[in-house]
Amino acid sequence: MKKKFYVTTPIYYVNDVPHIGHTCTTIAADIIARYHKLLGKEVFFLTGTDEHGAKVAEAAQKKGLLPKKFCDQVSKNFQEIWPKLNVEYDYFIRTTNPEHEKIVQEIIKKIYKNGDIYKARYEGLYCLGCEKFITETELTNGCCPLHPNEKVQKQSEENYFFKLSKYVPQLIKAIEDPKNKYHYQISPQSKREEVLSKLKTGVDDLSISRANVPWGIPIPWDKSQTIYVWVDALINYYSALKINEKKEFWPANLHLLAKDILWFHAVIWEAMLISAKISLPKEVFIHSFYMIDGQKMSKSLGNVISPQKLLERYGVDGTRYLIASSFPYDSDSDVGWKRFTEKYNADLANGLGNLVARVATLASRTENKYQKLNIKITDKKFKDYHLSFKRYQFNEALTFIWEKISQADKQIDRKHPWTLKGKELEKVLQPLVKEIQEIALLLKPFLPETAEKIEKQFSGPKVKSAKPLFPRL
Ligand code: MSP
């Protein structure tokens, strides 16, 4: 039986249209999914949209639409853009799916029956942008640091609370001890430490219902309240498998997300699962943010980069390459149009594209049938490539490939194959063709279309010269 691998992206709020931030996580997840398929695993890749809560309801109202109608429209933007980027998700979940709603109610009932939910009055400040309560000490200039242009709201109401604090000791053990039955990995290391230190300074219980947010799933035993949007949303990772009758993929191998939603994914989700007696995901990987020319991306600054614009300029694989090579691993990544175009020209038009064109033109002058070689992805010589993947250091994996490109270029410059003919030329080309076939194999998770084009071009009866893979910009 094939090994299984289950990877997820956050489900995106429908108050916004897709931008380069969502694109970053989703393409990263696709690269990982394709990588595990290449290793021979059976993969399930989930993405979707998060459609309940006050923030979405407000966005719908501003558009003069009923929430569901509004969600249908915006969710479609996400559903349609991913295939254009060659993102092959297996299922797109929407939290307004009635099957999801039912599963959320079942799980919350289990947590309730387990004695982990109680009623109390909540008084505090709420950030609508984050959809979460925020403490006075977390404020910067009276606002949430992530949403400096929005006012925090004072709230006071009777809510249901989840006994999050009860699970703190268990979570600390689960994170720290690899032999613990609940063990899960938080990576990178810096984020693991951040979570542990926050857990150790003490954690409050979590309000998990709303009295004044009708756009949500009702609390099963008290219809006057709806389930807090984050509790509803997190359960998508589990409900999606049930909906698809793919429960054998649980627990998830990897939840991929950015630092803004670390706490929900590395603490709250796991506590809920322990309480509901469901096994825990194996790993949560948290990346950082894209900054645009040194600034946060925002509608008001007008610096938002959309996936559509990226596609128009750089094509599918150009976009995937630029995203993967600038992936904000441990710290924020500064990107911008100028640097994207420079990188595209240097690495794709000149680097990869030029090498493939040079060798193809020379090979097309020979009679040799350059058969597809039987190269194994698990070959020892690709060890560093695999190590980079283990740590989600896409840029490193790409550097490994581009090092091969530059070595091949050097070979050509050294051997002057353009001065050779017949058997002599074939002898020089043989290892170069093999090198290009290896490069195509390693490129598969990143640039699936290009890898396929190269493979086709360099196997079969005759190598053909072809249109440039990446036209210069
Ligand atoms: N709906 C919640 C997630 C629920 S998951 C159970 C949410 N949605 S969101 O639309 O705000 O998406 C946040 C995610 O989008 C981040 O965690 C990250 O994956 C991605 N990004 C949004 N802006 C980003 C950048 N500027 N840079 C990189 N990724 C960022 O939170």
Q: Quick: pLDDT tens for 26-61.
A: 999 999 999 999 999 999 999 999 999 999 999 999
> Measuring CA to CA, which residue among 437, 440, 417, 428 is closest to residue 368?
428
Q: Is the pLDDT of residue 70 over 80?
A: yes
Q: Is the pLDDT of residue 223 over 80?
A: yes
Quick one: pLDDT at residue 370?
74
Q: Is 109 a catalytic residue?
A: no
Task: Report CA-CA distances (Å) from 408 to 24, 125, 433.
Answer: 30, 60, 9
**Average confidence (pLDDT) over 285-310:** 92
Match 């090979």 to its residue by tokens: 363
Q: Is the pLDDT of residue 379 over 90?
A: yes
Q: Is 52 a catalytic residue?
A: no
**Average confidence (pLDDT) over 242-255:** 98
C-alpha 345 chain-centroid distance = 26
Q: Is the pLDDT of residue 445 over 90?
A: yes
- From CA 445, how far away is CA 137, in angstroms rounded? 43
pLDDT band of 302, cuts 50, 70, 90 = confident
Q: Is the pLDDT of residue 373 over 80?
A: no
Q: Is the pLDDT of residue 452 over 90?
A: yes
Q: Is the pLDDT of residue 359 over 80?
A: yes
Of 84, 113, 151, 296, catalytic: 296
**Average confidence (pLDDT) over 67-71:** 97
pLDDT per residue as tens digits for the range 396-407:
999 999 999 999
Query: Which atom of ligand 1 approaches the CA of 9 most closely?
Result: 19
Quick one: pLDDT at residue 65?
97
The secondary structure element, H or E, covering residue 266 is none
CA of 281 to the centre of ligand 1 (A): 19
- From CA 149, how far away is CA 142, in angstroms rounded? 10
Q: Is the pLDDT of residue 372 over 80?
A: no
CA of 63 to the centre of ligand 1 (A): 22
The answer, yes or no, to whether the previous bond of 445 is cis (omega within 30 of 0) is no
Q: Is 19 a catalytic residue?
A: yes
What is the number of residues in the chain?
473
Question: Residue 287 gets which letter from DSSP?
Answer: E
The pocket around ligand 1, CB under 6 angstroms, is made up of 10-13, 21-22, 24-25, 50, 233-234, 236, 257-258, 260-261, 289-290, 297
Q: Is 296 a catalytic residue?
A: yes
**Average confidence (pLDDT) over 205-212:** 95
Please provide the DSSP assignment of 337-360 as one string: HHHHHHHIIIIIIIIIIHHHHHHH
Which tokens belong to 23? Answer: 């694109």
**Average confidence (pLDDT) over 172-189:** 98
pLDDT band of 301, cuts 50, 70, 90 = confident
Quick one: pLDDT at residue 123?
87
Name the CA dihedral angle for 35, 254, 28, 302, rounded to a multiple of 10 degrees.
170
Quick one: pLDDT at residue 369?
74
Q: Which residue has the higher pLDDT, 66 or 142?
A: 66
- The pair phi, psi for residue 432, each rounded to 5°, is -70, -40
Of 63, 69, 76, 299, catalytic: 299
Quick one: pLDDT at residue 367?
82
Across the chain, mean pLDDT equals: 95
Quick one: pLDDT at residue 466?
83
Q: Is the pLDDT of residue 18 over 90?
A: yes
Q: Is the pLDDT of residue 245 over 90?
A: yes
Residue 258 β-bridge partners: 287
- From CA 455, how far away is CA 459, in angstroms rounded? 6
Q: What percent of the chain has pLDDT over 70?
A: 100
- From CA 395, how far away is CA 335, in angstroms rounded? 14
Quick one: pLDDT at residue 460?
72
The pairing of strands 4-13 and 132-134 is: unpaired
**Average confidence (pLDDT) over 364-388:** 89
Query: Which atom of ligand 1 approaches the CA of 289 most closely?
Result: 27
- From CA 468, how far away is CA 472, in angstroms rounded? 9
Query: Which atom of ligand 1 approaches the CA of 13 most closely?
Result: 10
Which tokens belong to 473? Answer: 């910009």
CA of 354 to the centre of ligand 1 (A): 36
Residue owning the nearest CA to atom 6 of ligand 1: 234
> Measuring CA to CA, which residue among 247, 248, 323, 241 is closest to residue 29?
323
